[in-house]
Chains A and B, each alone.
Chain A
Amino acid sequence: MTSNSEEPKKPGVGQIFLEELNNQFKPPKKDDKKRGGISQTILIPLLAVITGLIIGGIFIILTTEQVYAAFGQSFGAGLAAAWDAVSKAYSGLFTGAFGDPARMIAALQSGDELQIRRAFNPFLESLVTSTPYIFAGLAVALGFRAGVFNIGAEGQIFIGAITATFVGYSVTGLPAIIHVPLALLAGAAGGAFWGFIPGWLKAKTGGHEVINTIMMNYIAFRLSDFLLTGPMKRPGSFNPVSPEILPSAWLPRFFPDPIRFHLGFFIALGIAYLVYWYLFKTTWGFELRTVGTNPNAAKYAGMNVTKNIVLAMSLSGALAGLAGANEVLGVNRNLAMAFSSGYGFDSIALALLGNNHPLGVVLASLLFGTLRSGATRMQLTAGIPNDIISILQAVILAFIAAPAIIRTIYRLRKPTVEEAGVTIRGWGG
């Protein structure tokens, strides 16, 4: 940093943004130069991902039978087979996530619209998968910033999906310009209510939000089961699925089938900016962050700690509710049982990986969405079970949660107490 106390250079918005991502305006450290001055808040997630890929590779080798057979023949053949398995898997993952460049070029040259759409679909499909991750990741990150650990994102996603679906099929005769926002708002409100309850319980009774949000998850799951087999069941259907959401409430898609890429992605980016603005540009966000970092100082500064905890849980729930609404309005167009495959739980990892910063969460969500979407393709082309992605995600998360491992592997220096983030404070209540 070039600025000093005499004459601080006024940093531009971009610089401030990056520095904030850098876990709140870090001090210049002279001995940081060895590692190129990249802060550990960025370096550790990066190294965690790389290390995760390496460990994932080892698992691929260990689970591929051909490798064992080749090692039986000779050591060299074994190595070649191992390399082959890993490269096949990861190139499958890559093309699954971003598309096959050769195919893209061929499609563009042929000029056939359907071919082009199919060639570019993997990339857009990755964005579709990333979208609910962004919403849910923001939800958990906002909670962490306020010092609460919202494990209940999954339940809030379900409630958000239920309320959005209900508004989506039951309210008729509205133009899309009103119906879509209304359905989204319903989703946000449903999630917010589901987050408000544990927030209120924490503020009034001291009941720990980790326990209460887990319990709220179960209630949400069973509530959705009940609704889909009873009041919200599609008439005449044998399956537990809701009626089709009216087209006026669909999130518009940009391309014809099979491309499902829809407006939700851009809404997610907009919401991410809004969360950033809220946290770092407004007095409300300052209160939230202060309460989350040092509740005693917040009280000293005249802030209402309990109000902020309830507010943070409600906002967090609203964001998670939007994740649910986004899925039903943009992708599924109905509500089915167990429609969310653990977005709410993965989002905890996203918040950690993104260092609880909206920009970080967006990047982490893109990574996770890409991995998930690419894995399906990898399973087809390389015959690698896509569960390997779960292992990869788990390893990455473990490294993020225990940065000491990464520091030991790559011999990084330990940051001082003050530099360390506030993420884990959520446990302390």
Chain B
Amino acid sequence: MTPVLELRGITKRFPGVLANDHIDLTLEQGTIHALLGENGAGKTTLMNILYGLYKPDEGEIFVNGEPFHVHSPSDAIARGIGMVHQHFMLIPVFTVTENVMLGEESLKTGGFLDREAAAKRIREISSQYGLEVNPDSYIKDLPVGVQQRVEIIKLLYRNANILIFDEPTAVLTPQEADELFEIMHSLTAQGKSIIFITHKLREVLQVADIITVIRRGRVIGSVLPSEADQSKLATMMVGREVKLELEKEPPRPKETILKVENLIVTDETHQVAVDDVSFEVREGEILGIAGVQGNGQTELVEAVTGMRDVEDGKVFLMGKDVTHAIPRKFTEAGTAHVPEDRQRDGLVLPFPVMENLMLCTYYLPPFAKGAIIQWDYVMQNATRLVEEFDIRTPSIFTPAGSLSGGNQQKVIVARELSRPIHLLVAAQPTRGLDVGSIEYIHSQILKRRDEGVAVLLVSTELDEIMQLSDRIAVMYRGKITATVSAEEASKELIGLLMAGVPLEDARQQIQKKAAQSEKIGGAN
């Protein structure tokens, strides 16, 4: 059978980089083909070529065996290729129907929009593929998982046969991700074909029919999920052995370092983002804050590092009231802060690596004597940290902006962990990083914990929270809805809590489920 899509020898060069090096990829009808690779491996470039956003330097594309010359996304859509972007392209104040028909409006006589006809098609599509959604809801009222369904419906509405999913689970709870995988299976069962771009090993094994691994712009190989496991895939992806399981010693918590009492924080629009939150973090333990993005974690982190003022409540650092203190107070009291948005807050991108490595302590000796910066020491310090933290950079004079995301993050981690600290606040410390960098940063965080640092870890990656935390607090709509110990925490439990299910209900649900599967197991 002719494959629905075939890429042959796709090559794309950017100045100084070979983003795609003779990539071959074959997508058979009715299958899910996972494209696995680290950030910067060339997955997105390849898909942008397929989608008409970039022109390849070499290579050919065939759709259903016919050569396909793509110049713009509209060409791709016309040939039945559609992409679900990582960031949704929806208008919040429009209804589902209006968003779906946007650009493809069906009209009544006289030039009026025919919403009824469009809504009817949407209902047909959603029942056919199990994409539950109410066509009359406004996008702004829908949870993220449902918004993603609207994106998928948009493509099916335009008769897409090949669907590209670009890191689709990044914004979803585990349960929502499972629902998405079901939808993907129902799509392929009815003849659609899917390219699934991701860097998450667990997901490809769960959902893909075939996995192609890309590293540094090249196809390393294709494997069937039945023949692969996580460590094999990780090795293919990174090019060396990777430890996926962290060796973790039991925590030895001591004195309380950070204490937060009835904290209330508002966001830019003066909406309450952190609502009456209390917790404490002790020496030698990691408190993980789990939650779907946008549930107040950002504001919480900013409030406990002095970046955002507090409306009400108290923040204590080693017994001292620091509720309205400025960031420098926190730094000087021994707080390290790995900010959520590294390019916005954590780095000055045009500045050289060595200047970024002194960003928080530039005014203190030995970086400065009086007001005079000691460049000799700055260079020494940078050279040492580049080596110690394995920052891959052409030199310490290279602007931080020219480093890869993982190395940018290492610059921040190196800077924050290289001074004596009592508290580490790490927000999304490994977002967008490759397996190798994640492994390294995790081991550094654990090392600090074992040395007696109190760690507040905020992450939307459930795997990360589960691997590192000694206690896990779940944030939902600005409140900490539950705090559970690492022993009790299971993916299912945290997932339910992240979706807003109260702790007791969640526990019962899981017990019920366990009992049920036991029953089924017993019956078989």
Interface residue ranges of A364-409 to B (CB < 8 Å): none
* CA distance in complex: A284, B359 (Å): 13
Contact A296 B345 (CB under 8 A): yes
* B interface footprint on A9-32 (CB within 8 Å = 1, 0 otherwise): 010000010010001111111110
Residues of chain A at interface, number, CB under 8 A: 43
In which size bucket is the chain B interface? Answer: 35 or more
Contact B394 A8 (CB under 8 A): no
Contacts A293-B348, A300-B307, A422-B350: A27 and B379 contacting too (C-beta < 8 A)?
A: no
* A interface footprint on B485-518 (CB within 8 Å = 1, 0 otherwise): 0000000000000000000000000000000000
- A286 and chain B: residue at smallest CB distance: B362
Contact A28 B395 (CB under 8 A): yes
Q: Which residues from A are CB-within-8-Å of B375? A: 16, 281
A25-B354, A26-B398, A283-B371 known; 5 new pairs, CB 8 Å cut-off, are A25-B352, A29-B16, A286-B362, A300-B337, A418-B349
Which 3 A/B pairs are nearest by Cβ-Cβ distance?
A418-B401, A302-B328, A25-B397
Q: Which residues from B are CB-within-8-Å of A27? A: 394-395, 397-399, 402
Contact B355 A286 (CB under 8 A): yes
Q: Which residues from B are CB-within-8-Å of A286? A: 355, 362, 373
* CA distance in complex: A290, B344 (Å): 12
* B interface footprint on A408-419 (CB within 8 Å = 1, 0 otherwise): 000001101111
Residue A3 lies at the interface, judged by CB distance under 8 Å to chain B: yes
Contact B387 A418 (CB under 8 A): no
Q: Which residues from B are CB-within-8-Å of A178? A: none
Q: How far is the CB of A7 from chain B (nearest CB, A)?
A: 8
Contact B327 A301 (CB under 8 A): yes
Q: Which residues from A are CB-within-8-Å of B402? A: 27, 416, 418-419
- Specify which of B326, B339, B351, B383 is in contact with A5 (CB 8 Å cutoff): B383
Contact A290 B351 (CB under 8 A): yes
Q: Which residues from B are CB-within-8-Å of A419? A: 350, 399, 401-402
Contact A26 B399 (CB under 8 A): yes
Interface residue ranges of B301-360 to A (CB < 8 Å): 307, 326-328, 331, 337, 339, 344-352, 354-355, 359-360
Q: Which residues from A are CB-within-8-Å of B394? A: 1, 4-5, 27-28
Contact A5 B348 (CB under 8 A): no
Residue B393 lies at the interface, judged by CB distance under 8 Å to chain A: yes
Residue A253 lies at the interface, judged by CB distance under 8 Å to chain B: no
Q: How far is the CB of A25 from chain B (nearest CB, A)?
A: 3
* CA distance in complex: A283, B367 (Å): 9
Residue B81 lies at the interface, judged by CB distance under 8 Å to chain A: no
Residue A297 lies at the interface, judged by CB distance under 8 Å to chain B: yes
Contact A8 B401 (CB under 8 A): no
- Specify which of A24, A31, A283 is in contact with B351 (CB 8 Å cutoff): A24
Residue A299 lies at the interface, judged by CB distance under 8 Å to chain B: yes
Interface residue ranges of B395-433 to A (CB < 8 Å): 395-402
Residue B25 lies at the interface, judged by CB distance under 8 Å to chain A: no
* CA distance in complex: A230, B345 (Å): 53
Q: Which residues from A are CB-within-8-Å of B376? A: 10
Q: Which residues from A are CB-within-8-Å of B359? A: 290, 297, 300-301
Residue A172 lies at the interface, judged by CB distance under 8 Å to chain B: no
Residue A294 lies at the interface, judged by CB distance under 8 Å to chain B: yes
Q: Which residues from B are CB-within-8-Å of A30? A: 16
Residue A6 lies at the interface, judged by CB distance under 8 Å to chain B: yes
* A interface footprint on B191-233 (CB within 8 Å = 1, 0 otherwise): 0000000000000000000000000000000000000000000
Residue A282 lies at the interface, judged by CB distance under 8 Å to chain B: yes
* A interface footprint on B360-387 (CB within 8 Å = 1, 0 otherwise): 1011000010011101100100010011
Contact A418 B344 (CB under 8 A): no
Contacts A4-B395, A297-B346: A31 and B16 contacting too (C-beta < 8 A)?
A: yes
Contact B397 A294 (CB under 8 A): no
Q: Which residues from B are CB-within-8-Å of A418? A: 349-350, 399-402
Contact B350 A293 (CB under 8 A): yes
* CA distance in complex: A27, B351 (Å): 11
Q: Which residues from B are CB-within-8-Å of A31? A: 15-16
Contact A283 B363 (CB under 8 A): yes
* CA distance in complex: A419, B399 (Å): 8
- B395 and chain A: residue at smallest CB distance: A3
Q: Which residues from B are CB-within-8-Å of A16? A: 375
Contact B395 A299 (CB under 8 A): no
* B interface footprint on A51-77 (CB within 8 Å = 1, 0 otherwise): 000000000000000000000000000
* CA distance in complex: A16, B371 (Å): 19
* CA distance in complex: A41, B399 (Å): 15
Q: Which residues from A are CB-within-8-Å of B401? A: 416-419
Q: How far is the CB of B410 from chain A (nearest CB, A)?
A: 12
- B382 and chain A: residue at smallest CB distance: A8
* CA distance in complex: A108, B347 (Å): 59
- B355 and chain A: residue at smallest CB distance: A286
Contact A302 B326 (CB under 8 A): yes
Q: Which residues from A are CB-within-8-Å of B373? A: 281-283, 286
* CA distance in complex: A301, B363 (Å): 10
Q: Which residues from B are CB-within-8-Å of A25? A: 352, 354, 395, 397-399
Contacts A5-B386, A281-B373: A300 and B327 contacting too (C-beta < 8 A)?
A: yes
Contact A300 B346 (CB under 8 A): yes
Q: How far is the CB of B59 from chain A (nearest CB, A)?
A: 22
* CA distance in complex: A6, B383 (Å): 7
Interface residue ranges of A81-108 to B (CB < 8 Å): none
- B360 and chain A: residue at smallest CB distance: A301
Contact A283 B379 (CB under 8 A): no
* CA distance in complex: A32, B51 (Å): 31
Q: Which residues from A are CB-within-8-Å of B387? A: 5-6
- A11 and chain B: residue at smallest CB distance: B397
* CA distance in complex: A416, B354 (Å): 20
* CA distance in complex: A74, B394 (Å): 60
Interface residue ranges of A335-382 to B (CB < 8 Å): none
Q: Which residues from A are CB-within-8-Å of B383? A: 5, 8
